[in-house]
Amino acid sequence: MWLDHRAVNQVHRINETKHSVLQYVGGVMSVEMQAPKLLWLKENLRETCWDKAGHFFDLPDFLSWKATGVTARSLCSLVCKWTYSAEKGWDDSFWKMVGLEDLVADNYSKIGNQVLPPGTSLGNGLTPEAAKDLGLPAGIAVAASLIDAHAGGLGVIGADVRGHGLACEGQPVTSRLAIICGTSSCHMGISKNPIFVPGVWGPYFSAMVPGFWLNEGGQSVTGKLIDHMVQGHAAFPELQAKATARCQSIYAYLNSHLDLIKKTQPVGFLTVDLHVWPDFHGNRSPLADLTLKGMVTGLKLSQDLDDLAILYLATVQAIAFGTRLIIEAMESAGHSISTLFLCGGLGKNPLFVQMHADITGMPVVLSQEVESVLVGAAILGACASGDFASVQEAMARMSKVGKVVFPRREDKRYYDKKYQVFLKLVEHQKEYASIMKGD
């Protein structure tokens, strides 16, 4: 449901309040957060949903409840998506101001009045009923959860990097940025002190790594955007047929096709006159603008497989430029980032990884275990079962470096120029909108 943007009217009204809790979501609340979704349910499904609901859960908390029967919520879920403060708790004035005062009246029982740090053991562990459904012994420890992206961040950001020639070696973990890339992308940076980044969610205390403040940038569609661009192209049926004949995924085939048509130039140079702005579902960070649209400039009449491959490449590059924009916003506010730790489905695509290295100018670390979200979940489970005394200890022991991809410095000037074009695209989009709104 996070991708559902129907609560646009509600989130606009929430943002118009200028309430102080908005400082902790980058100054502007996203339609993807829970307060506008709750308000939409109250205003549109009052009798069939709102009045009948006993609890409203984030998915990880719902799963914890189903596993243990415990309704306690994870600090991660409530701090990152529900405006809860790790230091002060709920702010009654916010919920009353936005029209959700009934949540306050019952002491927040519907959205959480028992809040636990991720990794805390829940109740008596797995219930007999859940154990039967899962084929596991009853009583196994179940941990207070993390949101999936945050579990991915936890699974990669603490890896021992000694011997890999990385700038972050011997430096605080705050010099690392975890990027969890799937349908959408989340950019997780941590700091010892709170850093307020306009357009970037947070700072959230202890929401991912205990004792650290978290800032969370993001792109609403990444993997979904790549699929959209590729599957909507006229040459897609041809691509499917050729990839199937070679027993390859469509993206492995596209990557090999790009290598074939690039000839002697670097593959990234194929997009010298094709540029994409990737906000086909609005901008989450750092512009925090739901109204932004996708843009493509440099199209031709050609609709062959070469054309599809180059459009795919330009889309991947646009996503990487979006990451660069987020990093620049975070660094302008006080973060110091030297190394990217990338996981998620798109981390399996070597072109996606290399473009992120080349375009940001930073090395990209890939984990030994591809499914880093599961590593993060395992870290929590190991803490709940008592195998480790702290989340930090478990991170250091369970996170491993698999591969490091370094940027190709010789291509820097090319990507700097494309980045200038990238920034012009959104500038022009805003100009066009202004013209059309004028008299």
pLDDT tens for residues 242-276?
999 999 999 999 999 999 999 999 999 999 999 99
Q: How far apart are CA 207 and CA 121, in angstroms?
A: 17
Domain boundary pick from 134, 166, 183: 134
Residues 123 and 195 in one domain: no
Start-to-end C-alpha separation, the chain: 38
Q: List, for residues 19-32, the tens digit of each pLDDT value.
A: 999 999 999 999 99
Mean pLDDT across the stretch 105-109?
91
Mean pLDDT across the stretch 265-290?
97
**Rounded alpha-carbon distances, angstroms, from residue 100 to 30, 40, 105:** 17, 10, 9
From the list 119, 118, 125, 120, the residue with the least C-alpha distance to 141 is 125
Q: How far apart are CA 383 and CA 228, in angstroms?
A: 40
Q: How far apart are CA 321 and CA 360, in angstroms?
A: 7
Mean pLDDT across the stretch 60-77?
98
Residues 369 and 409 in one domain: yes
Q: How many percent of the chain have pLDDT more than 70?
A: 100
Q: Looking at residue 27, which CATH number applies to its domain?
A: 3.30.420.40
pLDDT band (50, 70, 90) for residue 76: very high
Residues 60 and 199 in one domain: no
Mean pLDDT across the stretch 300-317?
98
pLDDT of residue 3 exceeding 80, the answer is no
- Is 3 domain-assigned? no
Mean pLDDT across the stretch 313-318?
99
Q: Which of 54-58, 213-217, 369-373 has the lowest mean pLDDT?
A: 369-373
> Residue 106's pLDDT is what?
85
- Is 142 domain-assigned? no
Domain that holds residue 320: 147-439
pLDDT of residue 284 exceeding 80, the answer is yes
pLDDT band (50, 70, 90) for residue 324: very high
- Hey, CA dihedral for 295, 416, 219, 97, is it positive or negative? negative
Respond yes or no on whether the N-terminal peptide bond of residue 172 is cis (omega within 30° of 0). Answer: no
Q: List, for residues 416-428, the tens digit of each pLDDT value.
A: 999 999 999 999 9
Residues 279 and 412 in one domain: yes
Collapsing DSSP states into helix, strand and coil, what is residue 394? helix
pLDDT of residue 231 exceeding 80, the answer is yes
Q: How far apart are CA 435 and CA 169, in angstroms?
A: 50
Quote the number of domains for the chain.
Answer: 2
Q: How far apart are CA 275 and CA 268, in angstroms?
A: 12
pLDDT of residue 237 exceeding 80, the answer is yes
- Is 376 domain-assigned? yes
- Is 2 domain-assigned? no
Residues 167 and 315 in one domain: yes
Q: List, for residues 183-230, the tens digit of each pLDDT value.
A: 999 999 999 999 999 999 999 999 999 999 999 999 999 999 999 999
pTM: 0.95
Q: How far apart are CA 386 and CA 377, in angstroms?
A: 14
Query: What tokens does 438 get?
Result: 């004028």
Collapsing DSSP states into helix, strand and coil, what is residue 406? coil
User: Across all residues in the chain, what is the average pLDDT?
Assistant: 97
Q: Report the 10 Å Cβ neighbour count for 331.
A: 14
- Is 207 domain-assigned? yes
pLDDT of residue 2 exceeding 80, the answer is no
pLDDT of residue 105 exceeding 90, the answer is no
Which residue is listed with tokens 């798109």?
A: 346
DSSP string, 207-257: SSSTTSEEEEEEES-SHHHHHHHHHTSTTHHHHHHHHHHTT--HHHHHHHH
Domain boundary pick from 134, 169, 202: 134
pLDDT of residue 1 exceeding 80, the answer is no
pLDDT band (50, 70, 90) for residue 125: very high
**Rounded alpha-carbon distances, angstroms, from residue 109 to 56, 112, 113, 117, 226:** 9, 5, 6, 18, 41
Residues 307 and 428 in one domain: yes
Residues 258 and 361 in one domain: yes
Residues 130 and 151 in one domain: no
Residues 163 and 119 in one domain: no
- Is 406 domain-assigned? yes
Domain boundary pick from 109, 134, 159: 134
Residues 113 and 254 in one domain: no
Residues 125 and 233 in one domain: no
Q: Give the DSSP H/E element, type plus range, for residue 9.
A: helix 8-16
> Residue 169's pLDDT is what?
95
DSSP string, 407-426: --GGGHHHHHHHHHHHHHHH
- Is 88 domain-assigned? yes
